[in-house]
Amino acid sequence: MPLPVETYTIKDIARELGISTSTVSRALRGSYEINPETKRLVMECAERLNYRPNPIALSLKGSASRAIGVILPQIANYFFSQAINGIEAIAYNRGYHVIIFQSQESYEREVANVQQSMSRKVDGLLMSLSSETSDVAHLQEVLDKNVPLVLFDRVSADLNVTKVVADNFGGAFAATEHLIQSGRRRIAHLTIQPWLSITQERLAGYRAALEKHGLEFDESLIRYGTFGPDEVGPMVDELMRHSAPPDAFFTASDRLAVGCLQALRQRNLHIPEDVSLIGFTNLNVADFLAPPLSTVVQPATEIGQVAAERLIDQIERKHRALPIETVKIPTELIVRSSTMTSSEVVKL
Amino acid sequence: MPLPVETYTIKDIARELGISTSTVSRALRGSYEINPETKRLVMECAERLNYRPNPIALSLKGSASRAIGVILPQIANYFFSQAINGIEAIAYNRGYHVIIFQSQESYEREVANVQQSMSRKVDGLLMSLSSETSDVAHLQEVLDKNVPLVLFDRVSADLNVTKVVADNFGGAFAATEHLIQSGRRRIAHLTIQPWLSITQERLAGYRAALEKHGLEFDESLIRYGTFGPDEVGPMVDELMRHSAPPDAFFTASDRLAVGCLQALRQRNLHIPEDVSLIGFTNLNVADFLAPPLSTVVQPATEIGQVAAERLIDQIERKHRALPIETVKIPTELIVRSSTMTSSEVVKL
DNA sequence: TTGTAAGCGTTATCAG
DNA sequence: CTGATAACGCTTACAA
C-alpha cells in the first residue's frame, strides 16, 4: 500500500465535513471546548486524507515550528556527522525537524546562518562555532530574542548558555600521562587553532600531565595549524630536525594523526619503536591504522544526543528556570600496540 | 563591527519611507514599473536595516523558497557526508539552502521525509533511496507535482528522472580484473542489499570481468549483508571454511572492507600473501589501513556537486525541456601493496 | 508609478 | 460548542 504524498489542508477537511476551519483546527489541536462527536469526525477525516499540518504556515503564524537549527563548521567531518546523527535521533523521536547549516569555518557565513535560522523560525539553535569566530554578538542576539541556544564541542566562554563538550582536559591528560608512563619524555603536541575552547582545554590537560610527572613544558614542541593534510608533513619534519627531537606525538584530531603518521612513515620512522603517537580522534577505523595508533575517542554521538536533549528541554519548558551548565561527556583512551592481539581499552 | 541579527520586515521599510508595502516589494524584486528614485530609496533603506526577506512567508506564498531538500539514508556515513558537502557548496553559491532529512534506511521514514519536504515547499529534491525502498510511488507523486527531482547514488530504474551515480560497473570490473591479473582465481564478493541499483551494477562488473577472463561465476562466493560489523566476521569465516576457499575478497563498501580485514587478521591470514582485498570505498584514510588495502574510490563530493547542479538547473528553467539522463562519474582504482613505497594510482 | 486588497494555511480572539 | 475575522510577511492582480 503506497503511502500517499498528496497534501490536504484544514480547509479541505472543513469543506468535506461542512464545518468551519476554526472548528477543524480546534478538533485537531485536541484541546478546548469541542463536541466529542465533531472531534471524532474531524480526526477520522484527517486520518483518511492523511492530513499533515503545514509547517510553513505554522511557522509564519509564529507558533512552534518544531524545527531546530544546527549550525556547525562542516558536515564532512566524522565528528560532526556523528554528532548530527545523535541530534537527529533525539529530535526525531521528540517530534522535531533538523535544519542543518554549515558555516564552512567562516565567521561571516556563520552569522548568515544565524540570520537564516532565525528567519526560518527555528524553535531552538544548536551550535558549534566556526574556527574564525571570536565575537559572539550574533549569538547574544539570539538569546535576547529568547530563542533557546545550546553550544556543543566548540563553545565560547563569553556566552552564558548550556554547553555540551567532551572531557577534553581529561582525555588529553590521560593520553599524555600514558605516553609518559611508556617512557616518553619529549612529547610534541600538534593541535588546531589556539583560540578554540577545545584546543585550550586539551593543551591544559597535556600541561597538567607533564607537570604532575615533573616534565618541563616546552613551547617549541607545540604546533598550531589548520586541518590541511599538506601542512602536517612540514610541521613534523621541522620538529624532527629539532636538536632534541620529540619521542612522541599527541595530536588533537584524526586528520592530524593521519597526517603525522604519513609524515613519519615517509621518514622511515617506526611507531612505537622510534616515536609514539596518540590522536584525539573520532575515526572508528583507527583500529586498523598501521602502525598501531592509540586514540582518545571522542563521544561524538553522545554529545549530539545530550545537546539535543538539553535544547528540546529548554524549548518545551521555557517558562521554568532551567539550569545553565557545562556538561562534560567522558572520553575513552584506547591503547593499541603491535604486541597486543586485541585492543586494551582503558576507560577514563 | 558585529553584524546585526535583528530582523526587519517589508512593513518596517514601508513605514520608514511612508510608502506602501507593495511598492517596497516591487522595488526589492527589482523588476516592474517602479520609479528609479523610489527604488533607490528602498534599496538604501533595506541595506541600512539589513533587511532579509522572510523565507517562511515566501514559501507560504507559494513562490520559490530557495531551499532544496536532500533526503538520504544517513549522514554518519563518509560517502553521504562528503556528498552533502558537494551539494552544499553548489547550493550555497547559487543561493539555495539545504534542508537535510535522514531516512535512516527506513522506507516509512523516507515517505515521511518526502511529505515533510513537500510541505516545507522545497524548490527541488535530491534523493538517495533507503535500502528498504522498492516502491517509488511517493516519488512519482513528487514528479506529478512538478517538483524537480534528481536521484544520486542509490537510484531506481522505475523513475524517469536525472540520476547521478558512480561508475559502479566500471569500478567493479577494474577491481576484479586487477585481482585476476594478480593471479587470483576465486574472488569472493561481499556486498550489500541485492536489490539496490549500486549492488547490481557492481555485481555485473564483477561478473563481466570473470567472464572476460574465462573464470566461472560461483554464486557461493557472493554474500549479501547489512552494514553491521558483527555480521562480517561470520561471513568471512564461513567462506574460508569452504572446501575451495576464496583467495581474494572484493567488498562493496568500506565498512565491509574493514570488517573483512579484521576477520582475516583474527584468523592470522596475511594480505596480500594469503588473500587479496579490494574494497569499494570512500574512506580517504584507506591509505593507512594495514595490511595494504587496495580501493575503488568513489567520487562522493563530485556526485553531490553534479547532482546539485542538475537539480538547480532544472529548478531555474523548468520551462525548457531538460534532458533526462543518467550521469556516471568515473571512479579511481588505487592499488597498494606492501612492496610499493607510494601508491600507484590507476585511473579508469 | 503607486496603493489597495486578497490570499497562501493556520491559530487566536471574540462573538454567537 | 462553533463560526467569523484578523493576523503572520509577502506577492500580485486590480484600481487609481
What pLDDT is attached to residue B105? 92
What pLDDT is attached to residue B2? 42
What number of residues does chain A have?
348
How far is the C-alpha of B305 from the C-alpha of B309, rounded, in Å?
6
How far is the C-alpha of B130 from the C-alpha of B126, rounded, in Å?
13
What pLDDT is attached to residue B340? 47
My answer on whether B143 and B31 are in the same domain is: no
Mean pLDDT, range A219-241, rounded to an integer: 84
Contact A121 B261 (CB under 8 A): no
Residue B4 with chain A: CB contacts under 8 Å: 141
My answer on whether A16 and A118 are in the same domain is: no
Query: Which cell numbers hold the place of A176?
Result: 599524555
Residue B285 with chain A: CB contacts under 8 Å: 254, 258, 283, 285, 289
pLDDT in tens, B168-206: 999 999 999 999 998 999 999 999 888 888 899 999 999
β pairing state of B332-335 and A294-297 = unpaired
Q: pLDDT confidence of B59, banded at 50, 70, 90?
A: confident
For residue A62, say whether its CB is under 7 Å from any atom of strand D. yes
My answer on whether B103 and B119 are in the same domain is: yes
Could you say which of A88, A99, A121 has the minimum Cβ distance to residue B99? A99
Of A143-147, A296-300, A310-314, B210-214, the range with the highest mean pLDDT is B210-214
Asked if the structure places residue A305 within a domain, the reply is: yes
My answer on whether B267 and B215 are in the same domain is: yes
Asked if the structure places residue A1 within a domain, the reply is: no
B85 touches chain A (CB under 8 A): yes
B60 touches chain A (CB under 8 A): yes
Shortest-distance nucleotide from B59 CA to C1':
C8
Could you say which of A57, A85, A141 has the minimum Cβ distance to residue B76? A85
Asked if the structure places residue A3 within a domain, the reply is: no
Contact B88 A75 (CB under 8 A): yes
Window 87-106 of A, Cβ < 8 Å to B = 88, 97-100, 102
Give the CA angle between residues B306, B311, B315 to the nearest 5°: 150
Question: Cβ contacts of residue A306 below 8 Å, gap of 6+?
Answer: A86, A164, A327, A329
The nearest alpha carbon in chain A to B79 belongs to A76
Q: b/e string for A143-164 if b means 16 or more Cβ within 10 A?
A: eeeebbbbbbbbbbeebebbbb
My answer on whether A282 and A183 are in the same domain is: yes
Asked if A83 and A303 count as a contact pair (C-beta separation under 8 A), the reply is: yes
Asked if the structure places residue A306 within a domain, the reply is: yes
As ranges, strand C nucleotides with an atom below 7 A of a protein CB are 1-5, 7-13
My answer on whether A16 and A97 are in the same domain is: no
Could you say which of B7, B138, B290 has the minimum Cβ distance to residue A119? B7
A263 touches chain B (CB under 8 A): no
Residue bearing cell 613534523:
A236
Give the CA angle between residues A225, A226, A227 to the nearest 5°: 125
Asked if A77 and A132 count as a contact pair (C-beta separation under 8 A), the reply is: no
Asked if A114 and A145 count as a contact pair (C-beta separation under 8 A), the reply is: no
A4 touches chain B (CB under 8 A): yes
Give the CA angle between residues B143, B146, B150 to the nearest 5°: 55
What number of residues does chain B have?
348
Asked if the structure places residue A5 within a domain, the reply is: no
How far is the C-alpha of A303 from the C-alpha of A79, rounded, in Å?
10
- Within chain B, how many helices (H) and strands (E) appear? 12, 13
A70 touches chain B (CB under 8 A): no
My answer on whether B200 and B263 are in the same domain is: yes
DSSP for residue B51: -
Query: Which cell numbers hold the place of B70?
Result: 536532500
Question: Residues contacting strand C at CB < 7 A?
Answer: A 9-11, 21-22, 25, 28-29, 52-54, 56-58, 60-61, 63; B 18-23, 26, 32-39, 57, 60-62
In 3D space, the residue among B190, B203, B197 whose CA is nearest the CA of residue B232 turns out to be B190
**pTM higher than 0.95 for the full model?**
no
Contact A119 B84 (CB under 8 A): no
Higher pLDDT, A317 or B240: B240
CATH number at residue A19: 1.10.260.40
Contact B97 A116 (CB under 8 A): yes
How far is the C-alpha of B162 from the C-alpha of B151, rounded, in Å?
6
Asked if the structure places residue A69 within a domain, the reply is: yes
How far is the C-alpha of B63 from the C-alpha of B68, rounded, in Å?
13
Window 224-253 of B, Cβ < 8 Å to A = none
How far is the C-alpha of B147 from the C-alpha of A230, rounded, in Å?
43
Query: Which cell numbers hold the place of A288?
Result: 586498523
Query: Which cell numbers hold the place of A134?
Result: 571570536
Q: How many domains does chain A have?
A: 3
Report chain A's C-alpha Rg in angstroms: 26
Sheet with strand B276-281: strands edge to edge: B222-224, B187-191, B248-251, B276-281, B294-297, B332-335, B344-347
As ranges, strand D nucleotides with an atom below 7 A of a protein CB are 1-5, 7-13
Asked if B70 and B128 count as a contact pair (C-beta separation under 8 A), the reply is: no
What pLDDT is attached to residue B32? 63
A120 touches chain B (CB under 8 A): yes
Contact B119 A283 (CB under 8 A): no
My answer on whether B198 and B336 are in the same domain is: yes
Asked if A308 and A82 count as a contact pair (C-beta separation under 8 A), the reply is: no
Across chain A, what does the average pLDDT equal?
85
Residues in B 62-121 whose C-beta is less than 7 A from nucleic strand D are: 63
Domain of residue A102 covers 60-165+300-329
My answer on whether B183 and B279 are in the same domain is: yes
Q: At residue A341, does pLDDT exceed 50?
A: no
Distance, CA of B122 to C1' of D13, in Å = 25
**Cα of A282 to nearest chain B Cα, Å:** 12
How far is the C-alpha of B273 from the C-alpha of B264, rounded, in Å?
12
Query: Which cell numbers hold the place of B244?
Result: 575451495
Computed from CA positions of residues B83, B87, B88, B89, in that sequence, does the dihedral angle turn out positive or negative? positive
Q: Exposed (0-12), middle (13-18) or buried (19+): which is A47, by Cβ within 10 Å?
A: exposed
DSSP for residue B299: -
How far is the C-alpha of B45 from the C-alpha of B13, rounded, in Å?
7
Distance, CA of B15 to C1' of C3, in Å = 14
Asked if the structure places residue A79 within a domain, the reply is: yes
The H or E element spanning position B79 is helix B78-93
What pLDDT is attached to residue A31? 63
Please count the residue pairs, one from chain A and one from chain B, whose beta carbons lie less than 8 angstroms apart.
137
**Cα of B292 to nearest chain A Cα, Å:** 9
Mean pLDDT, range B134-160, rounded to an integer: 91
How far is the C-alpha of B277 from the C-alpha of B184, rounded, in Å?
11
My answer on whether A281 and A325 are in the same domain is: no
My answer on whether B264 and B337 are in the same domain is: yes
Q: Exposed (0-12), middle (13-18) or buried (19+): which is A244, by Cβ within 10 Å?
A: exposed
Query: Which cell numbers hold the place of B307?
Result: 547532482
Query: Which cell numbers hold the place of A177?
Result: 600521562
CATH number at residue B278: 3.40.50.2300
What pLDDT is attached to residue B267? 80
How far is the C-alpha of A159 from the C-alpha of A308, rounded, in Å?
18
My answer on whether B191 and B336 are in the same domain is: yes
- Measure Cα distances from B338 to B88, B124, B187, B347 in Å: 38, 47, 20, 20
Asked if B100 and A98 count as a contact pair (C-beta separation under 8 A), the reply is: yes
Comparing A39-43, A152-156, A167-171, A337-341, which segment has the lowest mean pLDDT? A337-341
- Measure Cα distances from A305 to A18, A59, A327, B76 in Å: 45, 25, 12, 14
Comparing A212-221, A315-324, A338-347, B12-21, which segment has the lowest mean pLDDT? A338-347
Neighbours of A273 (CB within 10 A): 9
What pLDDT is attached to residue A7? 76
Neighbours of A315 (CB within 10 A): 19
**Strand extents, DSSP E, chain A:** 67-72, 97-102, 124-127, 149-152, 162-166, 187-191, 222-224, 248-251, 276-281, 294-297, 326-329, 332-335, 344-347
pLDDT in tens, B283-326: 665 555 555 678 888 899 999 999 999 999 988 875 566 788 99
A134 touches chain B (CB under 8 A): no
Residue bearing cell 562522493:
B300
What pLDDT is attached to residue B71? 96
DSSP for residue A289: B
DSSP B234-283: HHHHHHHTSSS--SEEEESSHHHHHHHHHHHHHTT--TTTT-EEEEEE--
Asked if the structure places residue A260 within a domain, the reply is: yes
Could you say which of A4, A56, A285 has the minimum Cβ distance to residue B119? A56
What pLDDT is attached to residue B126? 97
What pLDDT is attached to residue A346? 53
What pLDDT is attached to residue A343? 47
The nearest alpha carbon in chain B to A69 belongs to B99
Q: At residue B342, does pLDDT exceed 50?
A: no
